[in-house]
Amino acid sequence: MGLFSNKTEITVVIPAFNEEGAIAPTIKGAGEVLTAAGLKYEIITVDDGSTDKTAAAAEAAGSKVIRHPINRGYGRSLLSGIHAAAHDWILIIDADGSYPPAEIAKLLPHVPAFDMVVGAREGSLFWGTPVKALMRFIYLRIARFVAGEPIPDANSGLRIFRKEAVSTSMPVLCYGYSFTTTMTLSFLNAGRFVRFEPIRFTERVGHSKVKPVRDILRTLQIMTQVILYFNPMKFAAVVTLLPLLATFAAAAHLLLSPQADPRWLVIALMLVISVLVFLLGCAVESIRLHSRK
What is the β-pairing status of strands 40-48 and 64-68?
A: parallel
| 163-184 pLDDT, tens digit each | 999 988 777 777 888 899 989 9
Contacts of 284 (CB under 8 A, 6+ apart): none
From residue 11, alpha-carbon distances to 115, 148, 161 in Å are 15, 30, 10
DSSP 240: H
Say if residue 132's pLDDT is above 80: yes
pTM of the model: 0.81
Percent helix, percent strand, percent coil in the chain, to nearest 5:
55, 15, 30
Helix (H, G, I), strand (E, B) or coil at 100: coil
| 252-290 pLDDT, tens digit each | 766 777 676 766 667 667 777 777 767 676 676 666 555
Selection from 73-87, 225-239, 253-267 with the highest mean pLDDT? 73-87
Tell me the backbone φ, ψ of residue 209, rounded to 5 degrees: -100, 5
Domain borders along the chain are: 9-229, 232-292
**CATH superfamily ID and name for 9-229:** Spore Coat Polysaccharide Biosynthesis Protein SpsA; Chain A (3.90.550.10)
pLDDT of 252: 76
Inter-residue long-range contacts of 210-213, CB under 8 Å, 24+ positions, other chains counted: 210/177
Query: Quick one: average pLDDT of 44-67?
Result: 97
Contacts of 128 (CB under 8 A, 6+ apart): 136
Return the C-alpha torsion angle 65, 70, 71, 75, nearest 10: -60
Please give the Cα distance from 258 to 156 (Å, whole number): 56
